[in-house]
Amino acid sequence: MKYFAFVLLFAAIAFGQANNSAPPASSPSIPVDQENAHKAKALLDQMFQALGGESYRSIQDISQEGRFYSFHHGESNSIGTPFVRFAKYPDKERVEVVHLRNYHFLFFSVGNVPIKDKSDIVLIHNGDRGYEITYKGTAAEPAADTADYLRRREHSLDWVLRKWLAEPGTALFYEGSTVAAQKDTQQVTIMNSQDQSVTLYIDSNTHLPVKKTFSWRDPTDKQRNVEDEVYDKYRPVQGVMAPFDITRYYNGDMSNQRFLNSVSYNKGLSDSMFVANVTYDPYKPAPRK
C-alpha cells in the first residue's frame, strides 16, 4: 500500500557492535593503505566509545515514540504523524502509526492496538518478510516496498557496525576532514565484500556520528540514487548516546524527519510482537455479489 510507504523509512534498527580494541600503533614502515585503514578504525573505535561503549554493544531491543514528517521534493506534505517503534535484534521491527490511542469509544483494532482512525496502521518486518495491518486485516507488504526496506536496513548505521565490521573482506578507508550538517567531521568509508559501501561523517569534537550516506543503482532504470541520514540532538539514555532528531535525504532532497520524544533500551520485547499472518489480499478483486 503506497499510502503507507513512508514507514519504510524507519529501517534503522538501533543496535550496534564494534570492536573497541585499540588500533595498532602507526609507524613509517607501515604501507600507506594500512596507515589509512588504521586511522579509519581508530575513528570508528572513538565513535563506538562516544556512543556508549559496552552499553551500546549490549542493546538487544529498542522502543521509541515520536512524530514523523514526510516531504515531497523537499517540501513538507504532512502536519506530523505520531508513531511508536519497536525493534529487536537482529531483524525484527514493528511500527505503529496510531492517531488516537487510549480513546474511550474505540471503533477498530489494528494489530492488537485499539484505534479509531481508519488510516491507522501497524507495519511489521520479521526477517525478509513485511506485513501491513489495518482495520481490514493483515496483508503481505508489496514486494517492491519490502525490497526498499531491506536495502535501507542493510545499510543502516548499526547494521554496518554490527555485521559488516565482523565479516571477512570488509575494508576501511579514511577520507579526510570535511563539513557535514554544519559540523566539522572526519569521513570514513566502510566497504564490505559485496562492494557495498557506507560513508560515515564523525564529529571531530564529540566523536558521535553526524551523517551516514550510501548509494545504489536502480535495477530498472540503472540510475544511481543517494540516500543520506543526519543525526542530531543526542541525549544520554541508559548509558547510550541516542539521536532524538533524524533527517533523511533522497538524492539531495529531504524525504522525512523524525523527532523522538522518548527512547528506551532492553525492555525484553516479546517475539510475539513481531508475528503476523496474512488474512487478506488487498489487490485481489472483491467477489461479485
What are 4-57's pLDDT values in tens digits? 444 444 444 444 333 333 333 333 444 568 999 999 999 999 999 999 999 998
pLDDT at 74: 59
Secondary structure class of 149 (helix, strand, coil): helix
Q: For residues 264 and 95, what is the distance between their CA atoms, to the nearest angstrom? A: 15
Residues 154-171: b if buried by 16+ CB within 10 A, e if exposed: bbbbbbbbbbbbeeeeeb
d(CA 284, CA 116): 26
Query: What domains are there in the chain, each with its CATH number?
Result: 33-267 (2.50.20.10)
Average pLDDT over residues 188-206: 96
Single-letter amino acid code for the residue at 228: D
The confidence score (pLDDT) of residue 33 equals 85
pLDDT tier at 75 (50, 70, 90 boundaries)? low
Q: Per-residue b/e over 77-114, b at no fewer than 16 CB within 10 Å?
A: eeeebebbbbbbbebbbbbbbbeeeeeeeeeeebbebe
Report pLDDT for 71: 75
Kindly report, residue by residue over 122-159, the tens digit of the pLDDT.
Answer: 999 999 999 999 888 999 999 999 999 999 999 999 89
Distance CA 131, CA 141 (A): 5
**N residues, the chain:** 289
- What confidence tier does 73 reach under pLDDT thresholds 50, 70, 90? low
Grid cell at residue 227: 540516500
pLDDT in tens, 232-288: 999 999 999 999 999 999 999 999 999 999 999 999 999 999 999 999 888 777 666
Q: What is the pLDDT of residues 212-226, one digit of tens each?
A: 999 999 988 889 999
pTM for the complete prediction?
0.82
What integer is the mean pLDDT of 192-215? 97
For residue 136, CA distances in Å to 30, 61, 119 come to 63, 29, 11
Please tell me the predicted confidence (pLDDT) of residue 117: 55
